[in-house]
A and B are shown apart, each in its own frame.
Chain A
């Protein structure tokens, strides 16, 4: 493996004081990254073929009939309620769990068929980070990061330089001799990331990696993961119960429900047009309902006397950007006002909802304003 996976060793580490630090692009050393990427591209693919996992004790299978292909270099998210089988699915990839049925393939290799030596070799190509970091409390930051190389019996000089690069990559150069107990949660997870990457893996498994972190640290760890993915081209598989994590960095998402695949696809599509009840349930906390004051006054028909506002909901999902001018024009002189807007851009696709109050006597013509639009009801105008 080349050293190019990491930042230049002599580069000054970013100031740790800044919580919003995002790793910046660091130019590779004088070597050709494309060959490296190509190799990683082959090695970073993951496949599940008819995989089931049954724990002897429980009657219901933890996973049943999982067929899945994870592309090299993508950030693949797995979401589901607790007990849905996320953790088992992740641990099948580096055989911390063994499949009861079916095959798990990493880089084309059947993980279940490996002998101990080959399994150890595979695990050195698959890094992993954990919700509770799992750092050795008796070892310094540098010793923790060095451990995968020490057990792989790498030469001391190589360990030294790789640890330095890995710590520079995650911005913890000045903490190398600290013990984990002295670090914040975000810093601990950075050590975890450095340790997972130090051996130059093709795949990074993230087990609820941000669930124990505060929002700021979560953001910076996600930014770090995204940067690593882009720069090193490694495949990232992450499991989480937080929708926001998926939306933030994943290319594709798999929704697991009671051990089975509920749906899988591009994040914007799955979130924009959830097809499975499990997905809708997961999305529900994110979707705010009608503002309370409006909901209280909402009625099915316009007020017979006086003037009413129609409450119009426009739902966007897919390519293109909502054209405010066109919407206003279509509603004529009706003076549309925005009551609430929840619009997001996921992977270049607009997704979300726009709630308008429109002063209209008759039903407005809404066709063509948005992929989906409807009048929710009417409220009496105040004036």
Chain B
């Protein structure tokens, strides 16, 4: 591989990291509150609110049902509104975040739902208010599951980010398509795959270590 190609590879990796990193932060910040809201407003939740619950669930499902490549195009007006442009790394972050958030919210919701009902009862019995139950019981107890779910989300996003080339965002996937596929440069294709595998392994390993440390107690 030529030095230029190695440079392109590094640049692509950086783009991928930027897209995935920024979108993951958005997914984390928005997904956890959505998950908490879904659990609280559920019929057997702490503050049952069927209408809010159904609406929220429908929105979440709607976004999850839409394939990322479709979302990427469908959200172009929103992307322009938020970032002022429809091409480049930042333009990809908007649809990537919006696709990852409902995905992660559902996984986090499952972890929150799995918190033993007895713990919530104990918290109520000691005079915890709802907000305190969320903060002191639900979130800490579900944390290992939430971290595990976040790892899955990030790995999925690394895959989805490969499609960001469609809006000229660059990244590793874009590199593989343009050089590896369209120009039959097998070396670049192989190099991208190796880097992607390494990236996913690092993310998964870090997530596993975090989960193990959180559940070891």
Interface residues of A (CB under 8 A from B): 94, 96, 116, 120-124, 126-128, 130, 132, 134-139, 147-148, 150-152, 179, 181, 195-196, 199, 205
Contacts and interface: CB of A to CB of B under 8 A. Distances in A.
Interface string B152-177: 00000000000000000000000000
A42 B124 CA distance: 24
Contact of A138 (B125, B128, B129, B217): B217
A116 B128 CA distance: 11
Nearest to B140: A138
B198 interface: no
A151 B141 contact: no
Given A128-B122, A132-B118, A134-B122, A152 B141 contact: no
B23 to A, nearest CB: 28
B118 A181 contact: no
A205 B125 CA distance: 10
Interface of B: 116, 118-119, 121-129, 132, 136-137, 140-141, 143, 214, 217
Contact of A151 (B118, B126, B140): B126
Q: Which residue, of B116, B122, B128, B140, has the highest number of chain A Cβ atoms within 10 A? A: B122
Nearest to A182: B217
27 contacts: A94-B125, A96-B124, A120-B127, A122-B127, A123-B124, A124-B127, A126-B125, A128-B125, A130-B121, A130-B122, A134-B118, A134-B119, A134-B121, A134-B122, A136-B119, A136-B141, A138-B140, A138-B141, A138-B143, A138-B217, A147-B123, A151-B129, A151-B132, A151-B136, A152-B127, A179-B217, A196-B126
Given A138-B217, A181-B217, A128 B140 contact: no
B122 A137 contact: no
A148 B119 contact: no
Contacts of A121: 127
A137 B141 contact: yes
A123 B127 contact: yes
Contacts, number: 67
Given A123-B126, A151-B126, A151-B132, 14 more contacts: A96-B125, A120-B127, A123-B124, A123-B127, A124-B127, A128-B126, A130-B118, A130-B122, A134-B121, A136-B137, A137-B217, A151-B123, A151-B127, A151-B136
**Interchain residue pairs A-B with the least CB separation, the first 4:** A134-B122, A179-B217, A123-B127, A138-B140
A123 B128 CA distance: 9
B214 to A, nearest CB: 8
Contacts of A138: 140-141, 143, 214, 217
Contacts of B129: 116, 120, 151
A130 B136 CA distance: 19
A109 B125 CA distance: 17
A197 to B, nearest CB: 11
A336 B217 CA distance: 62
Contacts of A139: 140
A116 B132 CA distance: 14
Contact of A148 (B118, B121, B127, B137): B127
Contacts of B136: 136, 147, 150-151
A130 B125 CA distance: 11
Contact of B121 (A96, A127, A152, A195): A96
Nearest to A180: B217
A152 to B, nearest CB: 7
Contacts of B123: 147, 151
A309 to B, nearest CB: 56
Contacts of A96: 121, 124-125
A181 B217 CA distance: 7
Contacts of B140: 136, 138-139
A128 B125 CA distance: 7
A195 B125 CA distance: 11
Contacts of A116: 129
